[in-house]
Amino acid sequence: MSQSVMAMLKDGQQYMKTWPMRKELYGFFPECRVVAATKFAIKTMPPATMVICLLLLQNLGTQFIPQTIAMGMFFLSLPIQGLLWLGHRSDQYLPPQLNSWYQEIHSSMRSQGCKVASVKSKPKYKELAQLLKTAFKDLDNAFTENWFN
């Protein structure tokens, strides 16, 4: 189950694209908050790092270059940390409670006539994300309210 860092980053990007960002899920899964924070960090950390490094060098001088580089690397690593967490999480197996919930939603979606992938006996979080994305996209609000209220 161990992956390389690059594979985890790719899995994290894919999981971030797959995870449905719905208000109904915020209370149940930390993925919603991590995805939102990671997307924000991807947009804001590179320019913020440049500003911080320039201000530090301007105010403190060149004798603080090692500290400036360390702070810049820290701020640039924040989006990478989010992607690594998401990549690791996507490859974990669902706990028993979520596994049974996954099975129920999957069978209910099949009975509604949705086109879903075959059911897995030991699903991972990435399969749950795909199933939830399909449920929110294809099914009406009454069905999804049944599961989240």
> Which amino acid is it at 139?
L
* Tokens 């929110």 found at: 136
Beta-bridge partners for 124: 93
- SS3 letters across 78-136: HHHHHHHHHHHHHCCECCHHHHHHHHHHHHHHHHHCCCCCCCCCCCEHHHHHHHHHHHH
User: Which pTM value belongs to this model?
Assistant: 0.86
Q: What size, in residues, is the chain?
A: 149
Distance of alpha carbon 30 from alpha carbon 16, whole angstroms: 12
Question: Tens digits of per-residue pLDDT, 70-128?
Answer: 999 999 999 999 999 999 999 999 999 999 989 988 888 888 877 877 888 899 999 99
